[in-house]
Amino acid sequence: MADYAVRITRLNYSYPDGTKALEGIDLDVRAGERVALVGPSGAGKSTLLLHLNGVLSGAGTVRILGQAIEGGDLREIRKQVGMVFQDPNDQLFCPTVFEDVAFGPLNLEIPSEEIPKRVEKVLRDVGLEQSVRLRSSHHLSLGERKRAALAAVLVMEPSILALDEPTSNLDPRNRRHLIEVVGGLPATLLLATHDLEMALSLCPRLVVMDRGKIWADGNTRSLLSDAHLMEDHGLEVPLSLRTLGNVRGD
């Protein structure tokens, strides 16, 4: 039996005002796989990710580690699915970084003696100094905030990671560092991003979304080299893959 981390079947979702956000999404992700979700702005990537832990629920089925979200144990699901949002300010809402990172474990009722150790470890893993624990997140730079937000999710030890635009607005050094950190994680990875180079380096599998539907699902390198596909969906062939053959999509 193939073990699927995520199985999405015929998912449809419309916003409260009626606009269709997701149409007939079918997506299966095996445990340990790394999938990049690309597409133009407004394609529905973030909306799709929000369905993975039950924050949004549409028509259709979403199964996480074999368990359907509909009627399932949300707490357990949210323990297994770690979601990192695009703007770190939305996720760092506690007065200190320590409390932000400890927020998840406290909710999961992990014994309080264990928590400081976990926090220390995870801060080290993302490359933050221990001194940030007592500081408030508004004293951190954007790169540090992104790392802190990641730490706040990693500390719950999820088996599936959903990242929404992890490298947006980051300077080159921070970007490289974040890619390194994410690359070293063992979890199943779903990466929604505009950073096609990062998708290329981290994820063997690529899913192209546009206007709420999936248009392509396959090998990252071959899909990203397909100039027609890229241009049809508001993307372009990343620099590292450009050859004379695919520069102009004739």
Residues 146-185 that bind another protein (CB under 8 A): 152-153, 156
Closest of 142, 144, 153, 143 to residue 133, by C-alpha: 144
Per-position b or e across 29-39, b if 16+ CB within 10 A of its CB: beeebbbbbbb
Q: 135 near 97, Cβ under 8 Å? A: yes
Residue 85 touches another protein, criterion: CB under 8 A = yes
> For another protein, which stretch binds (CB under 8 A), given 52-60, 63-71, 171-179, 196-204?
52-60
**Of 23-31, 63-71, 97-105, 234-242: span binding another protein (CB under 8 A):** 97-105
Residue from the set 47, 91, 220, 225 that interacts with another protein by CB under 8 A: 91
Contact between residue 64 and residue 6 where contact means Cβ atoms under 8 Å apart: yes
* Segment interacting with another protein (CB under 8 A) among 136-144, 175-183, 193-201, 238-246: 136-144
- Give the residues across from 28 on adjacent strands: 7
Residues 72, 70: Cα–Cα separation, whole Å: 5
Q: Can you give the binding site for another protein, defined by CB under 8 A? A: 50, 53-55, 75, 78-79, 81-83, 85, 87, 89-96, 99, 102-104, 106-108, 112, 115, 136-138, 152-153, 156
